[in-house]
Amino acid sequence: MQPQEVQPIQLLAPDGTLAENEVYSPYIAALSAEELRELYRHMAVERRLDAEATSLQRQGQLALWAPAQGQEAAQVGTIAALKPTDMVFPTYREHAMALYRGISPEQLLTMFRATRHTGWDPREHNFQVYTLVLAAQTLHAAGWAMGINQDLRMGSIPRDRAEDEIVVACIGDGATSQGDVHESMVFASSYELPMLYFIQNNHWAISVPTRTQSRGPLVNRAQGYGFEGVRVDGNDVLASYAVATRLSGEIRAGKGPKLIESVTYRMGAHTTADDPTKYRSSQELELWEGRDPIRRYRSWLSSTGDADESFFEQVDADAKDLASDMRKSVLALEPIDLERVFDTVYSEPHRQVEAEKAWLKDYEAGFAEETNATEAGTTR
Amino acid sequence: MSAIKEMPMAKAITAALRDELAADQKTLLIGEDIGALGGVFRVTDGLQAEFGTHRVIDSPLAESGIIGACIGMAMRGYRPVAEIQFDGFVFPAFNQITTQLAKMHNRTDGKIKVPVTIRIPYGGHIGSVEHHSESPEALFAHTAGLRIVAPSNPQDAYWMTRQAIVSDDPVIILEPKRRYWLKGRVDMENPAPDAFRAQVLREGTDATIATYGPLVPVALAAAEAARADQRSIEVIDIRSISPLDDETIARSAAKTQRLVVAHEAPTFGGMGGEIAARVAERAHPRLLAPVLRVGGFHMPYPPSSQEHRYLPDIDRMLEAVERSFSYQRGV
């Protein structure tokens, strides 16, 4: 049987022309000129930050970087459709979403500079920490969503308007092969959890193409679990926004989980550790360059008169400033102290951890005494 | 109504779960078949009827899902208590336990607490089929961030369960399933000692047997049998595997000068080796013999028709004690 193709929802064509869509166009029509410009700003800033981070890694200033270039529209369109109270469980490539939620560039890069495992407080931004174990976070998202339902039933709502909260579980196309995704979707469906699965199908799981994860479109998986899925052109920020707005609205209305397969493309490497020229063709890359999300949106936005050349110049200048500030702040990041790592293994005292911490202190103090003795010796 | 009751260990755990569910509405139970059925060992019997389907949650048949969802609920402020049906079925959740649950507090620099309790009926001697009789404690003990306890009697089972649930750290409770029907007194008002400390159960002068969970009654019986041979054996219930109360064990070993460590898990790479090394470091000059281990063999848990030869019993413990006496110090 041949896999069935599903046309993604697209409003904005690669040439920047906007199509009418009975269901989705009204969501775009409701956006103000300022909101439309903000979508552009967020995408442009992320791309600049991404380029700067890639270069920092090449210069040995970051241990690793996972570029998101090409996925700006998928991420910005989706997160713009959410409320600040919605909890996001990201992978390790949701840079545009993180920045949108107010996480600073240096907080974002902390893990990649290996000074700490994480750089931000998830509660401040309703944005969980990055996860490197694929798909593990989809179950945490299900648990969080169970907590929302529990809060509603018990009337013990820890924040305002829990009935407005939904949970977004981000995954890549590669991670859809992980068993935890299946278990998470079973939980979400069976307990009717307020969850949005946001799959960014960027076509490559490091060097392995999506067809090795799934012969059919990933969006079709939702059906198997008994909930709705929508395939969207992830390089179209307007369609991404419209689809996420409609689905998140339905989730808020108590209609259970939904799924988005956002068809996009990772322009760069999986991480700075791999070389995409070894596994994908230059023709493929050219094809997707032609579908660039930022260029497409810029072309449309200028045509509407909502943004003029000076706006784009200002955004470029701001992004450049941000990148240069980021370079300084990232280089200044202080590594976590190993004592602090000992202190957070457990919440409560644990005698083996305490004993090892004390041993290290004594051991290192021994060197200090030796050094002092040597110095004393030379001055004698 | 008296605060001291006689009950089997399984019922003591039920009582502990009930009391914590009543004490804090953020406490939830989740697991396979724990609702209407009351769990395959009936430990959660009646709790769903009492607290509702949303506090005592029948989960899909998905161990990774159970633990992963517990992590998410705990992040949101709940205190989920997961039941894993049998020891051998914890491994589908191994990734969530070791890479996520154990590390979440640390990797978030202490910003996120995950007070998840995982109850695992563990160990052999129930005549079951494969994957129903295993002792995975060393695999979890090796992972920093987890606490692991194993009660051996109803009093400990009641209080350790309560202490595990209120702990802000993830705690794995290894419930010795062959002792579920062991009766004992439970004092519901006066807590058992700190769940994370060892306890000297029987004083002795000639040698120490240290063990935990299902083998504690075996060690006590071995000590009693040794009395006939004029051997005075001290018995320690280790109780907490992580943190390990090596101080209490070493103090006893220094006193009796001979130590045998026993567990059902295979000796190779097991907790016995860790305890032997730690006690040797603390008490070496006082020991008259190396610390000896009694445990399972380096094989998958055998078909239960052979488990009587695989599992340590009184004779295997006494053999180790006698072997300890056979050592001569540097002549």
Whether B65 and A180 lie within 8 Å, measured CB to CB: yes
Whether A136 and B96 lie within 8 Å, measured CB to CB: yes
What does each of the 331 residues of chain B score in pLDDT, given as a tens digit? 569 999 999 999 999 999 999 999 999 999 999 999 999 999 999 999 999 999 999 999 999 999 999 999 999 999 999 999 999 999 999 999 999 999 999 999 999 999 999 999 999 999 999 999 999 999 999 999 999 999 999 999 999 999 999 999 999 999 999 999 999 999 999 988 899 999 999 999 999 999 999 999 999 999 999 999 999 999 999 999 999 999 999 999 999 999 999 999 999 999 999 999 999 999 999 999 999 999 999 999 999 999 999 999 999 999 999 999 999 765 4
What is the CA angle A329-A339-A57, rounded to 5? 35
pLDDT of residue A89: 98
pLDDT of residue A162: 61
Facing B169 at nearest CB: one of A149, A153, A347:
A347
Facing A352 at nearest CB: one of B60, B76, B243:
B243
- Beta strands A167-172 and A208-209, pairing class: unpaired
Q: Would you call A85 an interface residue with chain B, using a CB distance cutoff of 8 Å? A: no
pLDDT tens for A175-232 read: 999 999 999 999 999 999 999 999 999 999 999 999 999 999 999 999 999 999 999 9
pLDDT tens for A228-280 read: 999 999 999 999 999 999 999 999 999 999 999 999 999 999 998 899 999 99
Cβ-Cβ contacts under 8 Å between A and B: the total is 147
Contacts of B100 in chain A (CB under 8 A): 133, 136, 140
Crossing angle of the two packed helices A237-252 and A72-80, in degrees rounded to 10: 40
Tokens 């029987």 belong to which residue?
Answer: B202
From the list A353, A18, A85, the residue with the least C-alpha distance to B106 is A353
Facing A346 at nearest CB: one of B25, B76, B145:
B145
Q: Would you call A143 an interface residue with chain B, using a CB distance cutoff of 8 Å? A: yes
Q: Tell which B residues from 139 to 168 touch A, by Cβ distance under 8 Å.
A: 144-145, 147, 167-168
Facing B68 at nearest CB: one of A122, A128, A136:
A136
pLDDT of residue A345: 98
The answer to whether residue A160 scores a pLDDT higher than 60 is no
Q: Would you call A159 an interface residue with chain B, using a CB distance cutoff of 8 Å? A: no
Listed in order, strand segments (DSSP E) in B138-193 are 147-149, 171-176, 183-187
Cα B280 to chain centroid distance, Å, stands at 23
- Beta strands B233-237 and B199-202, pairing class: antiparallel
Cα A341 to chain centroid distance, Å, stands at 26
CA distance linking residue A215 with residue A213, whole number of Å:
7
CA distance linking residue B112 with residue B230, whole number of Å:
55
pLDDT of residue A1: 53
| Residue in chain A nearest B93 by alpha carbon | A180
* DSSP helix, strand, coil percent of chain A (3-state; round to 5): 55, 10, 40
Q: Please answer whether residues B240 and B191 qualify as being in contact, where contact means their C-beta atoms are separated by less than 8 angstroms.
A: no
Sheet of B171-176, strands arranged across = B56-58, B27-31, B79-83, B117-122, B171-176, B147-149, B240-242
Distance from CA of A70 to the nearest CA of B (A): 29
- Beta strands A204-205 and A208-209, pairing class: antiparallel
Whether A153 and B54 lie within 8 Å, measured CB to CB: yes
pLDDT of residue B213: 98
CB burial readout B159-189, b (16+ within 10 A) else e: bbbbbbbebebbbbbbbbbbbbebebebebe
The answer to whether residue A374 scores a pLDDT higher than 80 is no
Q: Residues B49, B55, B60, B66: what is their CA dihedral angle, to the nearest 10 degrees?
A: -140
In what helix (H) or strand (E) does residue B68 lie, and over which residues does it extend? Answer: helix B63-75
Facing B167 at nearest CB: one of A154, A186, A348:
A348
Tokens representing residue A104 in the block = 């600073």
Q: Please answer whether residues B274 and B244 qualify as being in contact, where contact means their C-beta atoms are separated by less than 8 angstroms.
A: yes
Cβ neighbours of B228 (radius 10 Å): 7
Q: How many CA atoms lie within 13 A of B204 on its CB side?
A: 28
Residues in chain A: 380
Distance from CA of A30 to the nearest CA of B (A): 34
Q: Residues A238, A243, A244, A245: what is their CA dihedral angle, to the nearest 10 degrees?
A: 90
Phi, psi dihedrals of residue B204, rounded to the nearest 5° = -160, 175
Q: What is the DSSP string of A292-323?
A: -HHHHHHHHHHHHTSS-HHHHHHHHHHHHHHH
Prediction pTM value = 0.96
Whether A143 and B73 lie within 8 Å, measured CB to CB: yes
The mean predicted confidence, pLDDT, of chain A is 94
More confident residue, A377 or A181: A181
In what helix (H) or strand (E) does residue B242 lie, and over which residues does it extend? Answer: strand B240-242
Distance from CA of A129 to the nearest CA of B (A): 7
pLDDT tens for A318-336 read: 999 999 999 999 999 999 9
CA B198 to each of CA B34, B137, B192: distance values in angstroms, whole numbers, following the listed order: 31, 16, 11
> Is the Cα torsion angle A275, A281, A286, A287 positive or negative in sign?
negative
Distance from CA of B300 to the nearest CA of A (A): 25
Residue B109 falls in which region: left (phi positive, over 0), alpha (psi -120 to 50) or beta: left
In what helix (H) or strand (E) does residue A122 lie, and over which residues does it extend? Answer: helix A122-125
Tokens 């990232």 belong to which residue?
Answer: A330
Cα A304 to chain centroid distance, Å, stands at 29
- Largest pairwise CA distance in chain A: 90
Tokens 């700190």 belong to which residue?
Answer: B194
DSSP helix/strand/coil, A252: helix
pLDDT of residue A380: 46
What is the CA angle B49-B50-B56, rounded to 5? 70
Complex-level ipTM:
0.96
Q: What is the DSSP string of B236-304?
A: EE--EEETT-HHHHHHHHHHHS-EEEEEEEESTTSHHHHHHHHHHHHHGGG-SS--EEEEE-SSSPPPG
Q: Please answer whether residues B155 and B12 qualify as being in contact, where contact means their C-beta atoms are separated by less than 8 angstroms.
A: yes
CA distance linking residue B189 with residue B69, whole number of Å:
33
Contacts of B251 in chain A (CB under 8 A): none
CA distance linking residue B8 with residue A253, whole number of Å:
48
The answer to whether residue A299 scores a pLDDT higher than 90 is yes
In this structure, which amino acid lies at residue A357? Answer: K
Whether A122 and B112 lie within 8 Å, measured CB to CB: yes
Q: Tell which B residues from 49 to 88 touch A, by Cβ distance under 8 Å.
A: 54, 59-60, 62, 64-65, 67-78, 80
Q: How confident is the model at residue A368 (pLDDT cuts 50, 70, 90)?
A: confident
| 3-state SS, one letter per residue, for B216-233 | HHHHHHHHHHHHCCCCCE
pLDDT of residue B331: 46
Q: Would you call A264 an interface residue with chain B, using a CB distance cutoff of 8 Å? A: no
